[in-house]
Every structure is written in structure tokens, then in C-alpha cells.
Amino acid sequence: MKLFDVYPLFDINIVKGKGCHVWDEHGTEYLDLYGGHAVISIGHAHPHYVEMISRQVGTLGFYSNSVINRLQQQLAERLGKVCGYDDYALFLINSGAEANENALKLASFYNGRTRVVSFNKAFHGRTSLAVEVTNNPKIIAPINDNGHVTYLPLNDIEAMRTELAKGDVCAVIIEGIQGVGGIQLPTDEFMQALRESCTAHGTVLILDEIQSGYGRSGRFFAHQYNGVKPDIITVAKGIGNGFPMGAVLISPLFTPVYGQLGTTFGGNHLACTAALAVLDVMEQEQLVDNAARVGDFLLTELKKLPQIKEVRGRGLMIGLEFEQPIKELRLRLLKEQHVFTGVSGTNVIRLLPPLSFSMEEASEFLRRFQKVLG
Ligand SMILES: Cc1ncc(COP(=O)(O)O)c(C=O)c1O
């Protein structure tokens, strides 16, 4: 059997990781400013993470959601405290798309409506509803194209107010900071007006913090810069540092109903152990503060480079927009300077290193980057 060939691959076989570095099969070391697509939060192969998962898999790897799982309860308690949403409830699944899928279902169960507002350039995943609210016709299959969604320009307060005033919008889904869309930030004014309109018209506000959350922006959630509280928050990526996991944080507005949501693998013992290890390390090493500090340094230094048209972002979620396509530049950065970065569209390089990225590693990146910028 062959692999179903949907990924355009770099010709590199990564076999080992440690901290903010990865190694290929030939022993070549790379600086990781991609984090496997914003997934690695506490660094590769962190000893505490390795120890906790190894211990758990030797004790109990999995049992079903039909019995008590104390690890889920511990995670809910710890996460509530650290993210500032103590009074919200936690539902655990396995990926970001699943988190958004469940968030949209909950919203629709809650108000009985079916229309959703999303934004231009939004990305929310590839399952049926998650992909329908994603603003990319190339990945929406005809079977997913069910007319539930209106896409609006980000930060257009008037357009948003007009749409929500129709009174039939089930939910608005918005990223804390748009990731795939090229690191686009919602403004404070827009987010506050959105919160107001959602409340006024009985629309559920869903914040997709799958890429921008879990400390990446320098706060636990990016929307915490905007001074709003969503009704539902979705997370994934960094929650398990590579262990597949997603979560929905649900406000007290919603009442749980037995059987309404469910999953076989979600919140299993290994996933919860990974997530608890991540929270331990985030707290012990103060990684949210580190993301803010190192991110500020990088943003300041990158804004000094005249070759870049615009630098956008917060914390360790940074977009570098160029006048010209960046394909060659990014390839040289990888092949000549051994630096992994992300991309968005044709002209934006995305930096998404582990939250443990140090000042020294940031300086090293800037040195290597300047060599390919010329
Ligand atoms: C903002 C956002 N939402 C949802 C997703 C989908 O997550 P997953 O690939 O885990 O389904 C992604 C993945 O890149 C994302 O960036």
C-alpha cells in the first residue's frame, strides 16, 4: 500500500527532537521555529513529559468514557485555574477540528439556529462543519457546502452588526489571532462590539484558540488582550505537546445533557497525562511569560529589517509579510541555515516556535535569517 499523497513534503526525515531543535536521519540539527505547526508548546522530548507519559502507559493507557477518569477531573481543575475560566466546563476530544465541530453543535443545540458567521481567511479545520466555516473553497467538498455560513471581513464592525441584527445567527466563530490566514489580529474595538452584538441577539460567541491559545500569544488566550469573554473556547495543538488532543471550554450558560456529545478516545488517560505534564512545565518554567518576553524581542528586532513589508503578531505567533513570494527564501532558510518555519499563502512566513524558545535561540534565528535575507 502507498500513502495517500496529499502532503507536499520537504525531502527531510526528522527522527529526533530536543527542546527547540530537531535532527534528521543524517544527524543534521535544525532550529525549530515551526513546532510541527504550533503544536510543540513545552519543547520536544521534555524530560518531565517523557517521564509522566512513560509511567502512565505502563499503568493504564486507555479506558472508556463510561467510567470515572480522575485525570480528566484534575485537568479540568488545573486548566480552569491557569487560564482564568474556573467556572467553565471542559469537554475533551482529539483534535482542533473536532473541538470546533462540537462547539458549533453545542451552539446549535442551545439556540436551535443553523446560520454561522465566520471571517475572510478563517481556518477552523477539515471536518464537516469545521471546514464549512473555513474560508477556503478548495477544501470544502460539495457535501460540506450546506449554506450555513456567511463570511465577513475581519474587523468590519458595521458588517458584523448588520448580519447579527437579522436575529437568526446561531454562532460567530473567530480565531484569537488568524493563523493560516497569515497572522491577522482582531482589534479590541471589533471584539468588544462582537461580544455586545452576540449577547444582544442570542448568538453564541466561539473563540477558536487552537493556534493562538495555550500561551502562544504571551497570554493564555489571545482574546484576553481584547477584554472579552467568549461563550465557548476551543483549544488543541499545544495542549498535549504533540499528543493528539483537543478541548472545548464551555461557559455556565450551557447545561450538559447525557449523550448529547461523546467520543471514544477523547480525554483518555494518556492524553490527560500529556496535558497535565504540559501544564506542570508551563507553570514551572513560566512559559507564557517567556512567550511574551521572547516574542516582544523578536517582534522588535524583525521590525527593524527593511526587507520585510510588515511584521504582525503577538508573543511567539509572528507573521512576516514580504512584497514577493517567500518560497525560495524559506527553502534557503531550511536548507542552508537549517531553520524550520511555517508559511501562509505565498508571501507570509509564520514563526511558531515552542513556548520555551530562549533569547539565545531567538538571537541565533535572527543571525541565520539575516544571512538569507542578504
Ligand atoms: C485556528 C485553527 N483551528 C482549527 C485547526 C484544526 O486543527 P486540527 O488540525 O487539529 O484538526 C487549526 C489547525 O491548523 C487551526 O490553526
CATH code, 14-46+286-373: 3.90.1150.10
pTM over 0.95: yes
Strands (E), the chain: 14-18, 21-24, 29-32, 89-93, 115-119, 149-152, 169-175, 204-208, 232-235, 246-250, 310-314, 317-321, 339-340, 342-344, 348-351
What would the pLDDT profile of 154-200 be if each residue is shown by its tens digit? 999 999 999 999 999 999 999 999 999 999 999 999 999 999 999 99
CATH fold group of domain 48-284: Aspartate Aminotransferase; domain 2 (3.40.640)
What would the pLDDT profile of 316-371 be if each residue is shown by its tens digit? 999 999 999 999 999 999 999 999 999 999 999 999 999 999 999 999 999 999 99
- pLDDT(308) > 90: yes
Locate the domains of the chain by residue range.
Answer: 14-46+286-373, 48-284
Cα(163)–Cα(302) distance, integer angstroms: 38
What would the pLDDT profile of 69-79 be if each residue is shown by its tens digit? 999 999 999 99
What would the pLDDT profile of 94-134 be if each residue is shown by its tens digit? 999 999 999 999 999 999 999 999 999 999 999 999 999 99
Does residue 183 have its Cβ closer than 6 Å to ligand 1?
Answer: no
What would the pLDDT profile of 191-248 be if each residue is shown by its tens digit? 999 999 999 999 999 999 999 999 999 999 999 999 999 999 999 999 999 999 999 9
pLDDT at position 100 is 98
User: Which residue's CA is the nearest one to ligand 1's atom 13?
Assistant: 125
**Strand 115-119 to 169-175 pairing:** parallel
pLDDT at position 324 is 97
pLDDT band at 374 (very low <50, low <70, confident <90, very high): confident
Q: How far is CA 102 from the centre of its chain?
A: 16
Does residue 175 have its Cβ closer than 6 Å to ligand 1?
Answer: yes
C-beta separation of 181 from 343 below 8 A: no
Does residue 93 have its Cβ closer than 6 Å to ligand 1?
Answer: no
SS3 label, residue 79: helix
Does residue 96 have its Cβ closer than 6 Å to ligand 1?
Answer: yes
Q: How far is CA 5 from the centre of its chain?
A: 25
pLDDT at position 39 is 98
